[in-house]
Amino acid sequence: MSKRISILGSTGSIGRQSLEVIAACGMTAAALTAHSNSRLLEEQCRQFHPEAAVMMDEGAAADLRVRLADTDIRVLSGMDGLIEAATLPSADTVLTAVVGMVGLRPTLAAIQAGKRIAFANKETLVCAGELVMRAAREQGAEILPVDSEHSALFQSLEGCRDRGEVKRLILTCSGGPFYGKKASELQNMTRKEALQRPNWSMGAKITVDSATLMNKGLEFIEAMHLYHMPPEKISIVIHRESIIHSLVEYCDNAMIAQLGTPDMRLPIQYALTWPSRAPGPARPLDLWDCGPLTFGRPDLETFRCLDLALKAARRGGTAGAILNGANEAAVALFLADKIGFLDIADRVEGAMEQVPVVETPSLEDVLQADQAAREAVWHSAV
């Protein structure tokens, strides 16, 4: 069982829940990192006594140094600090809970350093899944999914002795806060309405991704890389209740699923304790009380971001990096009230049409595709 964890993005939704799991399971923190919330990182440092604390923002790092002056915690900053946190010799596991493809370089560094990766930062796999999975294979690094759907797939695949027997991976999707609506009703959706949280409590970016269904598209690409599956062997089913977290269909038509309350602490904990299980803080599921479970088809016409992601999945190469870079840029504009809800899909589509795809990309190709896609979104005339 892993014991000493570095959490990249410890002040976020996944990061905070990871610390609850660590405390409940008697594990320790080697490093904690955050973007700019030095007050919360100080609080976490005083509770968990990591060896190092990293602020991405230089000004916030200076502030944290003052706040932690009475401790022996090393305060680092920027991408170099993040990479140092990802490679600390005393950590056995790195939990990647930063949002966005900023997690790519620290993840690759953690793999090179032979760490187990508890993987939440899906954007990294969407951008550079082949590079990351190849590096993990070469280094023999274990990649354990934190995303609830991928954890469910992982658990449903555990009894599988021959991957050739898998017919299909089925990702469940809550449908998001705008489920059942048509494009005309989404035209004037505001930031506030998009940030309503149906079943899960999450950071702002992934909450918008859940409203556009881009999140499911990113998860589709994530599943392709994690489980080495072609796009035609993955499907998506709407399941409003978020009780079945995903399923595997085998060649004899048996379906194996994992069920639980919508509580991220369960998949987080399993990524840290695997191959063992342990009692933990996740809420139990009461089958007498959870009500009926329903299933339906996703509406790709209304939720165009999902359709665009499926196109990128089939296209391969740097298409994932273009999709993701464009989406990160467009969601940031939406969160800043600069563009409307439906503009997100328009901007992503524009970037996908504009930026050429490179087959079998290097890290440099991925970074360039990401940048070109962001610029296409920023300078879009739409």
Exposure of 315 in the CB half-sphere (CA atoms within 13 A): 21
Provide the H-helix boundaries in the chain.
13-24, 38-48, 58-67, 78-87, 104-112, 122-139, 148-157, 183-186, 191-194, 204-212, 214-227, 265-273, 304-315, 319-335, 341-354, 363-378
Q: Which does 42 bind (CB under 5 to 8 A by kind): ligand NAD, Mg ion, none?
A: none
CB 135 within 8 A of CB 159: no
Min dist CB 137 to Mg ion, Å, is 24
Q: Which of the choices Mg ion, ligand NAD, none does residue 123 contact, using the CB cut-off of 5 to 8 A by kind?
A: ligand NAD
**Residue 133 and residue 156 in contact, taking contact as beta carbons nearer than 8 Å:** no
- State yes or no: residue 264 binds ligand NAD (CB under 6 A): yes
- H or E segment and range at residue 259: strand 255-259
Q: What binding mask, one character per residue, do residues 130-169 give for Mg ion by CB under 5 A, x or -?
A: -----------------xxx--------------------
| 83 near ligand NAD, judged by CB under 6 A | no
Among 68, 94, 170, 206, binds ligand NAD (CB under 6 A): 206
With CA atoms as reference, report the closest residue to 126 among 216, 213, 225, 209. Answer: 225
- The CB-nearest residue to ligand NAD is 12
Residue selected from 71, 200, 237, 357 as contacting ligand NAD according to rule CB under 6 A: 200
Which amino acid is it at 302?
A: T
| CB contact at 8 A, 366 and 355 | no
Q: Which is nearer to Mg ion, 48 or 179 (CB)?
A: 179
Q: Which is nearer to ligand NAD, 11 or 327 (CB)?
A: 11
User: Distances from the Cα of 253 to the Cαs of 29, 220, 237, in angstroms?
Assistant: 43, 21, 16
The reply to whether 56 sits near ligand NAD by the rule CB under 6 A is yes
The CB-of-210 to Mg ion minimum distance in angstroms stands at 8
Site for ligand NAD contains 77 (CB under 6 A): no
Closer by beta carbon to Mg ion, 107 or else 148: 148
Would strands 166-173 and 244-250 be described as parallel, antiparallel, or unpaired?
antiparallel
Stretch that binds ligand NAD, among 58-66, 93-101, 153-161, 250-258 (CB under 6 A): 93-101
DSSP conformational letter for 152? H
Among 22, 27, 83, 97, binds ligand NAD (CB under 6 A): 97
List residues binding Mg ion (CB under 5 A): 147-149
List residues binding ligand NAD (CB under 6 A): 9-15, 34-35, 37, 56, 97-100, 102, 120-123, 147, 200, 202-203, 205-206, 264
